[in-house]
Chain A
Amino acid sequence: MLPDHFSAAERPVRQALADHAGKARHWHLADLFADDAGRFETLSRECCGLLVDYSKQRLTGETLDLLRELARARDLEGWIRALFEGSDVNWTEARPALHWRLREQAAAAPEVHDQLARMGEIVDQVLRGQWRGCHGDAITDVVNVGVGGSDLGPLMASYALADFRPEHGRRPNLHFVSSMDGSQIAPLLNDLNPATTLIVVSSKSFTTLDTLANAETARAWLERAFPDQQRALMRCHFVGVSANPEKMSEWGIHPCNQLLFWEWVGGRFSLWSAIGLPIALTVGMQGFHELLEGAREMDRHFREAPLADNLPVILGLVDVWNINFLDITARAVLPYDGRLKHFPSYLEQLEMESNGKSVTRDGTPVDYHTCPVIWGEVGSNAQHAFYQLLHQGTQPVACDFIVAGRYVPPHGDAEGGEHQRLARQHRLTLANCLAQSRLLALGGRALPDDQHDQPAFKQYRGNQPSTTLMLDELSPRRLGSLVALYEHKVFVESVLWGINPFDQWGVEMGKVIARDMVPVLETGDGLDGLDASTRGLVRRARS
């Protein structure tokens, strides 16, 4: 039994919040800070090596009290229990969402650890240079073929953690191929040696067209290199990761090279499973277990911490406040760390594919906003791109600043001159992060008095709200906590909005229509049934 999203208690809370928001719309962050010297202490929390500062959000302690009342009216605590009890929280597909089980310890999740152990064997062979191609050469390059959750999560984390070397052995060169059109795989294969390349085909269903098209191209490339060695080729050069072993076998993945995960893991929540193979190849199995451990810490925090101290809950409530009560419908994700370059696109999928919904459990359309538009970029680069809009445009935008408090040299060389230089660069980046969030929040009032007499086009309005997430350091463990924090935040929001975050029906139909469009493009037949625009485009493409 799932808890109810809606109860009679909600109406008065919602009204109280609306009244409160009526006042809050006139607040300026500069005043909020001026009025309350203890604002940071009240409006920041710390756990799992993460400091979350939401004091630059346009809210007060009272706001959060009211939001928590709304959460209780929506039975958030009941929903959190339902998630961790394995109820069918994914009600449109009648199944639970158990991604948190992927980080449980061996005794609690033996089947998960069976697969981790199998992944560990593959990782060990590759790192030790003992995974062999069909001519007996050691594998030097691994190509991850996947899209969506089978691409963004492993890509994000492998890139973020590249400083952390495996405890033994030699990391292979990792490559990611996702785009359907072959524009990524064709030039990549040109540069690789088939004898030393391992292809990892990752797809939950193992029917994803984009992925299979790329995998077929890779197979044809290997077959050209090793004609008449079909069996050895499949055994030596392909690993499959999927929840569908039958389809893997059908495609030709050798049973020994099949890594499994489960229907109860959503693709965008799957980097903790064997989908994370590239991450494990980057940091080694020990590092991968640290990643899981960091997420497990966040799971425990989410289950146990009271709502007032619960980070995923707080962040979820803040988002709901911004979108539904302050009408801020855009959010920018701004990591001040080049290693987190792929984090924005990872979050775009996690949040927008999860909460880009508008129908409640009983099928009624919602009459409020759900997930905002989310985009992002490495903050220091974005300063030279879209920060102009944040500072002086007309759109209110909430920002997430993400930064590591401390710079840890990758190879333990704490004394070297290069380390000193990199530590200096890190400080510079951190300074920019703090300066930007300050200027966005306070506007002209962040500036010295003599700067106030500026012409209008030089003025900063401020009052753009932001949250700053400061990691102790960017390590496998802390990245695990950070990602799990966002996962749970997404769930909190979905409860507040009364929607299912674990399905993605909105992306299904496009695939079907695309299939029907192929023959139209090939033959030109069937144009009559199309709209004028598509007809015109097809004709042009065929001419």
Chain B
Amino acid sequence: MRIDVFGDTLCASVTAAALAQSGHEVCWFIPEGRVLDAVNEGRVPYREPGLGELLGEQRAAGRLRCEPMTLNGAPAAPAVFLALQPGAQALAGEIADWLAGSGACGLLVNQSVFPVGTSEALQGRLAEARSPARVVALPETLQEGVAIDSFLRPHHILLGCDDPQAETLMREILRPFNRRRDVIRVMGLREAEFTKLAISGMLATRLSYMNDMALLAEQLDVDIDTVRQGVGSDPRIGEAYLYAGCGFGGSGFSRDVMSLTDTLRSKEVSAKLLEQVMEINERQKEVLFRRFWRHFEGEVAGRRVAIWGAAFKPGSDRVDNGPALKLIEALWAQDVQVHVHDPLALPELEAWAGGHPDLILHDDPYQAAAEADALMLVTEWKQYWSPDWSRLRDSMGTPLILDGRNIYDPDYVRGQGLLYHGIGRG
């Protein structure tokens, strides 16, 4: 089938590539900007494992075409996917108008994260223009770092759909990704949009809850990681999203939660819990800084700190909203020089820092740590899990390890002659 995909989000790129791979003839329309430039220059628009290969293969096979976005070219495909940036509702409206005029399209699939009710509004807009096309909501549930896999082998698919024919067509398109068992959960348009935000809100709440527990654990001198395993073994709770750490980041997660709090507020429903969740998270992003500050009793000016990992999660090159940024700002404000290593995210970090003199980027993690008064582990890239402790101990100015992801064994690290603090580990 011919399918058009609109947008420059990670979701758009993965959707376009994965649908092409399953045999569709896909045209990916990309709005002007960074992503379009990258695609035009033959670069991979997102540092997402497997994405470059998949896009390359599908373009080479001729099933995927990448085009600058235009609304007056060829007539629309029978199915059109929208994976636009958050806030781009106006653009979504324009695309809907174009579809209505173009005639051929029967299905508009909205994957964008918009306020609850946007898909319904798009449906209304199409109906007004006497278009037969139906709108369905397919909220993206991609996890950065494993985005391809989470599209190809989804654990669940939320489908907002009020029309049996549209559902049949959607099921047909999703069939290759829905094989082992039926993971599609059909609900109303609004319910699907809201469910997506509610999931993010719940996950964020779990994380902030654990971070609050970590604070308490520290006071009570118990190890939150042991507690986490115990809590997670209760089947009513489960293991996921229980890690205490130095805060979650990324665009998607925090954005969803903020969108949800905005929605609650706009309906004059108190958003106190979620506001707290976000506040705890913002506070948590500075937890390593506070440890560092306390260790030196506030006398930190002129010191040097190493940060391992700037990406908001392993596998990503993105730094937005991540704890590293807040940490670096806090350190800069106290005249601390920051040395950073990250296997992927340094270019993004450099662009964000805008040439700040107190940021030094390193290709080698040990060089970053040399002479440092503290090493902050912020992103748990695999390569950081088993460092050469004696080398760190001997090369650091103060062998102070601040483990923002609780990936090290406190006793072992201390046994190697280093100072260790994790999150909620006494």
With A and B bound together, what is the CA distance between A138 and B289 in angstroms? 11
Of all chain B residues, the one with the shortest Cβ separation from A229 is B297
Q: Are the CB atoms of A136 and B297 closer together than 8 Å?
A: no
With A and B bound together, what is the CA distance between A137 and B289 in angstroms? 9
B residues in contact with A136, CB < 8 Å = 286, 289-294, 298
Q: A136-B290, A136-B292 are in contact. Are A130 and B297 (CB under 8 A)?
A: no
A152 contacts chain B at the CB level, 8 A cutoff: no
A residues in contact with B333, CB < 8 Å = 125, 128, 130
B334 contacts chain A at the CB level, 8 A cutoff: yes
A residues in contact with B286, CB < 8 Å = 136, 138
Q: A125-B333, A128-B333 are in contact. Are A134 and B298 (CB under 8 A)?
A: yes
B330 contacts chain A at the CB level, 8 A cutoff: yes
* Other-chain residue from B291, B297, B330 in contact with A232 (beta carbon distance below 8 A): B297
A226 to chain B, nearest CB (A): 10
B residues in contact with A138, CB < 8 Å = 286
A residues in contact with B290, CB < 8 Å = 135-137
A residues in contact with B291, CB < 8 Å = 136
Q: Are the CB atoms of B334 and A134 closer together than 8 Å?
A: no
B residues in contact with A236, CB < 8 Å = 298
With A and B bound together, what is the CA distance between A137 and B330 in angstroms? 10
A478 contacts chain B at the CB level, 8 A cutoff: no
Task: State which residues 287-339 of B face A: CB under 8 Å.
Answer: 289-294, 297-298, 329-330, 333-334
A259 to chain B, nearest CB (A): 19
Task: State which residues 148-207 of A face B: CB under 8 Å.
Answer: none
Of all chain B residues, the one with the shortest Cβ separation from A235 is B298
A58 contacts chain B at the CB level, 8 A cutoff: no
With A and B bound together, what is the CA distance between A340 and B292 in angstroms? 44
With A and B bound together, what is the CA distance between A125 and B298 in angstroms? 14
With A and B bound together, what is the CA distance between A138 and B282 in angstroms? 11
A81 contacts chain B at the CB level, 8 A cutoff: no
A289 contacts chain B at the CB level, 8 A cutoff: no
Of all chain A residues, the one with the shortest Cβ separation from B291 is A136
Of all chain A residues, the one with the shortest Cβ separation from B333 is A130
A132 contacts chain B at the CB level, 8 A cutoff: yes
Q: Are the CB atoms of B297 and A132 closer together than 8 Å?
A: no
A231 contacts chain B at the CB level, 8 A cutoff: yes
Task: State which residues 224-268 of A face B: CB under 8 Å.
Answer: 229, 231-232, 235-236
With A and B bound together, what is the CA distance between A236 and B329 in angstroms? 18
Q: Are the CB atoms of B293 and A135 closer together than 8 Å?
A: yes
With A and B bound together, what is the CA distance between A232 and B292 in angstroms? 13
A residues in contact with B294, CB < 8 Å = 134-136
Of all chain A residues, the one with the shortest Cβ separation from B290 is A136
Task: State which residues 96-148 of A face B: CB under 8 Å.
Answer: 125, 128, 130, 132, 134-138
A residues in contact with B330, CB < 8 Å = 130
B residues in contact with A128, CB < 8 Å = 333
Q: Are the CB atoms of A130 and B334 closer together than 8 Å?
A: yes
B residues in contact with A137, CB < 8 Å = 290
A residues in contact with B293, CB < 8 Å = 132, 135-136
A residues in contact with B329, CB < 8 Å = 130
B292 to chain A, nearest CB (A): 7
Most buried by B among A132, A137, A235: A132
Of all chain B residues, the one with the shortest Cβ separation from A231 is B297
B residues in contact with A235, CB < 8 Å = 298
Of all chain B residues, the one with the shortest Cβ separation from A256 is B301
A506 to chain B, nearest CB (A): 44
A533 to chain B, nearest CB (A): 53
With A and B bound together, what is the CA distance between A54 and B317 in angstroms? 69
Of all chain B residues, the one with the shortest Cβ separation from A124 is B333
Of all chain A residues, the one with the shortest Cβ separation from B295 is A136
B404 to chain A, nearest CB (A): 14
With A and B bound together, what is the CA distance between A132 and B299 in angstroms? 11
B288 to chain A, nearest CB (A): 10
B residues in contact with A229, CB < 8 Å = 297
A179 to chain B, nearest CB (A): 31
A20 to chain B, nearest CB (A): 65
Of all chain A residues, the one with the shortest Cβ separation from B297 is A232
With A and B bound together, what is the CA distance between A128 and B290 in angstroms? 16
B328 to chain A, nearest CB (A): 12
A230 to chain B, nearest CB (A): 10
B20 to chain A, nearest CB (A): 46
Task: State which residues 439-459 of A face B: CB under 8 Å.
Answer: none
A56 to chain B, nearest CB (A): 47
A297 to chain B, nearest CB (A): 35
A131 to chain B, nearest CB (A): 9
A483 to chain B, nearest CB (A): 33
With A and B bound together, what is the CA distance between A229 and B298 in angstroms? 10
With A and B bound together, what is the CA distance between A188 and B289 in angstroms? 28
B194 to chain A, nearest CB (A): 28
With A and B bound together, what is the CA distance between A191 and B202 in angstroms? 30
B223 to chain A, nearest CB (A): 21
B205 to chain A, nearest CB (A): 22
With A and B bound together, what is the CA distance between A130 and B332 in angstroms? 9
Of all chain B residues, the one with the shortest Cβ separation from A236 is B298
B95 to chain A, nearest CB (A): 29
Q: Are the CB atoms of B297 and A134 closer together than 8 Å?
A: yes
B266 to chain A, nearest CB (A): 15
Q: A135-B290, A136-B292, A137-B290 are in contact. Are A232 and B334 (CB under 8 A)?
A: no
Of all chain A residues, the one with the shortest Cβ separation from B293 is A136
With A and B bound together, what is the CA distance between A229 and B330 in angstroms? 21
Interface flags, B256-299, vs A, CB<8A=1, else 0: 00000000000000000000000000000010011111100110
A255 to chain B, nearest CB (A): 14
A residues in contact with B297, CB < 8 Å = 134, 229, 231-232
With A and B bound together, what is the CA distance between A132 and B297 in angstroms? 11
B183 to chain A, nearest CB (A): 43
Most buried by B among A128, A130, A136, A229: A136
Of all chain A residues, the one with the shortest Cβ separation from B287 is A136
With A and B bound together, what is the CA distance between A229 and B294 in angstroms? 10
Interface flags, A210-235, vs B, CB<8A=1, else 0: 00000000000000000001011001
B287 to chain A, nearest CB (A): 9
B residues in contact with A135, CB < 8 Å = 290, 293-294
B residues in contact with A232, CB < 8 Å = 297-298
Interface flags, B4-34, vs A, CB<8A=1, else 0: 0000000000000000000000000000000
Interface flags, B178-202, vs A, CB<8A=1, else 0: 0000000000000000000000000
B219 to chain A, nearest CB (A): 12
With A and B bound together, what is the CA distance between A125 and B330 in angstroms? 10
B338 to chain A, nearest CB (A): 14
A381 to chain B, nearest CB (A): 31
B416 to chain A, nearest CB (A): 26
B233 to chain A, nearest CB (A): 33
B362 to chain A, nearest CB (A): 25
With A and B bound together, what is the CA distance between A382 and B329 in angstroms? 49
With A and B bound together, what is the CA distance between A235 and B334 in angstroms? 13
With A and B bound together, what is the CA distance between A136 and B292 in angstroms? 8
Interface flags, A458-498, vs B, CB<8A=1, else 0: 00000000000000000000000000000000000000000
A residues in contact with B298, CB < 8 Å = 132, 134, 136, 232, 235-236
Give the 6 A-B residue pairs with the shortest CB-CB distance, closest first: A136-B290, A136-B293, A130-B333, A232-B297, A232-B298, A236-B298
Taking A130-B334, A136-B298 as given, write out 19 further A-B residue pairs in contact, using a Cβ cutoff of 8 Å, ordered by the A residue number: A125-B333, A130-B329, A130-B330, A130-B333, A132-B293, A132-B298, A132-B334, A134-B294, A134-B297, A134-B298, A135-B293, A135-B294, A136-B286, A136-B291, A137-B290, A229-B297, A231-B297, A232-B298, A236-B298
Interface residues of B (CB under 8 A from A): 286, 289-294, 297-298, 329-330, 333-334
A–B complex contacts, Cβ < 8 Å, 17 sampled = A128-B333, A130-B329, A130-B333, A132-B293, A134-B297, A134-B298, A135-B290, A136-B286, A136-B289, A136-B291, A136-B292, A136-B294, A136-B298, A229-B297, A231-B297, A232-B298, A236-B298
